Amino acid sequence: MRVFAPFAVLVLLLLGLPHVGGWFHAWQPELTHPLYTRTSFLSLTLAHLGLVVAATSVAVAIGLGLGIVATRPAGRSLLPTVRAVAVIGQTVPPVAVLAIAVPLLGFGAAPTLLALVLYGVLPVLGQTVAGLDQVPADALHAADGMGYGRWRRLLDVELPLAAGPVMAGVRLSAIVGVGTATIGSAVGATTLGSPIVEGLVGNNPAYVVQGALLVGALALTVDAVLAALERRVRRQT
């Protein structure tokens, strides 16, 4: 149910919005185009989701990897540096990242991906470190005493026990991504931000509302799916 409701709202919007141009016309009678039609809402949503999935995957790989390295005995000294770098990544506004990335990567999806990855790493990294740190010390002591090797212990004991917090980080990272990807349209990426940006530039509030409704529904859906996954993972620990 908790997953179904936001997903149902998203589907309803995707199916219903193209047919309610009349409502937007009634709301803003002076608009000649009350409904965004340049690209279908479905393909905008899929493109948006694709960007987020790609960026979050990369962010998870980086965040998890750094988190693991930073919690090994040999990597402990790196932890403050790793954290500082990730926090800096988080504090730079997305628009600034895009402004810096466009001259390097050109317009389109590439600079958006970079911004999303930078934004997505910190939550995963933070939660990975927190999750690995809260693995019970006696379980690790017992694992060592029974003859687990380092890798085996990481895979069989530490990561499964840290899975709950790590999933919470993945979820946060994806949600931030859904919101941030909207800005990518400012540099030419095709996302649900396209109607919003176009609406703002062309003084068309109907476009803005349509894009915003869809982004909101998509964020709730992604959150609900990942929350369900997180609950399932936590139940096993």
Partner 1 sequence: MIEFEHVRKRFGDHVVIDDLSLRVEDGEFFVLVGPSGSGKSTLLRTVNRLVHVDAGCVRVDGEDVATRNVETLRRGIGYAIQSVGLFPHRTVAENIATVPRLLRWPEADIRARVDELIALLRLDGMAERYPHTLSGGQQQRVGVARALAARPRIVLMDEPFGALDPLTRESLQGSLKAIQRDMGTTILFVTHDMDEAFGLGDRVGLMLDGGLVQVGKPLELLHAPADERVRDFVGGTRARLRELAVRTVGENMRRGEQAEGEPVDAGTTLQEALGAMLTQGRDRLPVHEHGQAVGAIVLVDLVARGA
Nearest distance from C-beta of residue 143 to partner 1, angstroms: 8
Phi, psi dihedrals of residue 36, rounded to the nearest 5°? -70, 120
Residue 144 touching partner 1 (CB under 8 A): yes
Q: Which of 77, 91, 138, 151 binds partner 1 (CB under 8 A)?
A: 138
Residue 236 touching partner 1 (CB under 8 A): yes
Residue 155 touching partner 1 (CB under 8 A): no
Question: Smaller CB distance to partner 1: residue 76 or 141?
Answer: 141
Q: How many CB atoms lie under 10 A from the CB of residue 95?
A: 12
Question: Smaller CB distance to partner 1: residue 58 or 140?
Answer: 140
Question: Smaller CB distance to partner 1: residue 23 or 148?
Answer: 148
Q: How far, in Å, CA of 47 to CA of 87, rounded? A: 28
Residue 152 touching partner 1 (CB under 8 A): yes
Binding span for partner 1 by CB under 8 A among 40-48, 147-155, 188-196, 216-224: 147-155
Residue 141 touching partner 1 (CB under 8 A): yes
Question: Smaller CB distance to partner 1: residue 111 or 165?
Answer: 165
Q: What string of DSSP letters covers the chain? A: -TTHHHHHHHHHHHHHGGG-HHHHHHHSTT-S--S--SS-HHHHHHHHHHHHHHHHHHHHHHHHHHHHHHHSGGGGGGHHHHHHHHHHHHHS-HHHHHHHHHHHH-SSHHHHHHHHHHHHHHHHHHHHHHHHHTS-HHHHHHHHHTT--HHHHIIIIIHHHHHHHHHHHHHHHHHHHHHHHGGGGGGT--STHHHHHHHHHTT-HHHHHHHHHHHHHHHHHHHHHHHHHHHHHHHT-
Question: Smaller CB distance to partner 1: residue 143 or 227?
Answer: 143
Binding span for partner 1 by CB under 8 A among 6-14, 16-24, 64-72, 140-148: 140-148
Question: Smaller CB distance to partner 1: residue 104 or 151?
Answer: 151
Nearest distance from C-beta of residue 93 to partner 1, angstroms: 40
Residue 29 touching partner 1 (CB under 8 A): no
Q: What string of DSSP letters covers 159-203? A: HHHHHHHHHHHHHHHHHHHHHHHGGGGGGT--STHHHHHHHHHTT
Residue 139 touching partner 1 (CB under 8 A): yes
Q: Which of 97, 157, 170, 183 binds partner 1 (CB under 8 A)?
A: 157
Question: Smaller CB distance to partner 1: residue 163 or 192?
Answer: 163
Q: Could you list the residues that contact partner 1 (CB under 8 A)?
A: 136, 138-149, 152, 157, 160-161, 236-237
